[in-house]
Amino acid sequence: MDGWAGKILDIDLSSGVIKTYPLDEKIAQQFIGGRGLGARLLWDEVGPEVEALSPENVLIFTNGPLTATGYQTSNRFSVSTKSPLTGTILDANSGGFWGMQFKKAGYDALIVRGRAEKPVYIEIKSAEVVIKDAAPLWGKRVIETTKALGQNDNKRNVLCIGPAGENLSRIAAIMNDGQRSLARGGPGAVMGSKNLKAIVVEGKTRPDIVDADQFKFMLYETRKLLRASPLTSQALPEFGTVVMMNVVNAIGALPTRNYQQSQFERAEDISGEALTEKYLVKNAACWACPIGCTRISKTDKVEGEGP
């Protein structure tokens, strides 16, 4: 199964049992990509009667076949679960480095089930998977937790929740690599309901590629397309993803005041152009992405990644 790691990691926090089993190749091909695979696994695991914040709900992290291969923009990963906000399927995805590192640790998917008696975090390495005590971390905010667990972009990557997830806020996000989020639908509350503070990953091995020469050719061709597009070669690098703020506002599609309105009278003040002029320090990028739309910004009080 070139491109795939070929394994699913399954952790039951109630019992502490950790097991792995082969990824079903037919399912992986039918439900392509991290989002498709996550949705299918959730369908198999969770029925309509399951409460989102109960131990019976599962939290599923998934990669696609391009993750960790070095293909541009292949760094993203998904989380799938039953949403505590809507009561239906939740899918959120994030960039950064965590998904790549998880794939390099040797897994395509992680299924977390049950509920730990006390706060824990999971450490996943190529050679071992361990459940560890997270009591000293409980109550800490995301940046502090990420630093305490040794975040290092290309070596060790941290995914965690903050106080919102611990307190089961139904809009709580899961954060990875410090300041990136799996946000829609409240996955952080599901993680908090399992007494799971963080998942740390360290990987060493990229997945195999069936035809290295063809892969390099496709990489070259798609990079040409990215360079040819004004959006990916100019607008996104210069102004970040909020380059779309004024456009979306102008056409009446900007969610405002909990979507009671679709335009915001001060959209220009938070546009990519305004934020770049006032706060940008430099650009950065997710792993294996040539676009570089990540913002390193600085205000009077703080400097860091975002918005």
Q: In the prediction, which pLDDT does 184 show? A: 86
DSSP 32: -
CB of 81 within 8 A of CB of 190? yes
Q: In the prediction, which pLDDT does 78 show? A: 97
Domain residue spans of the chain: 7-202, 229-305
Q: In the prediction, which pLDDT does 213 show? A: 94
More confident residue, 266 or 287: 266
Q: Average pLDDT in the 246-275 region?
A: 94
Tell me: domain 229-305, CATH 2.40.50.100, correct? no
Q: Average pLDDT in the 293-306 region?
A: 89
Domain 7-202, CATH: 3.60.9.10
Q: In the prediction, which pLDDT does 211 show? A: 92
Q: How close are the terminal C-alpha atoms of the chain, in Å?
A: 38
Instruction: Answer left, alpha or beta for residue 45, where phi above 0 means left and psi between -120 and 50 means alpha.
Output: alpha
Residue 169, token pair as written in the block: 């806020």
Whether 199 has a pLDDT exceeding 80, the answer reads yes
Share of the chain above pLDDT 90, in %: 85
Least reliable range by pLDDT among 42-46, 133-137, 270-274, 286-290: 286-290
C-alpha dihedral (89, 92, 156, 240), degrees to nearest 10:
180
Q: Average pLDDT in the 65-93 region?
A: 93
The band of 1, judged by pLDDT with boundaries at 50, 70 and 90, is: low
Q: Average pLDDT in the 201-217 region?
A: 92
Q: Is 195 helix (H, G, I), strand (E, B) or coil?
A: coil
| Burial bucket for residue 223 (CB in 10 Å: 0-12, 13-18, 19+) | middle
- Cα separation, 200 vs 152, in Å, equals 11
Single-letter amino acid, residue 60:
I
Q: In the prediction, which pLDDT does 287 show? A: 86
Q: In the prediction, which pLDDT does 202 show? A: 96
Whether 205 has a pLDDT exceeding 80, the answer reads yes
Q: Which long-range contacts (CB under 8 A, 24 or more apart) does 46-50 make?
A: 46/81, 46/82, 50/82
Question: pLDDT per residue over 119-130, tens digit each?
Answer: 999 999 998 999
The band of 258, judged by pLDDT with boundaries at 50, 70 and 90, is: confident
CB of 41 within 8 A of CB of 60? yes
Residue 65, token pair as written in the block: 């076949």
C-alpha dihedral (206, 209, 215, 216), degrees to nearest 10:
50
Residue 167, token pair as written in the block: 């307190």
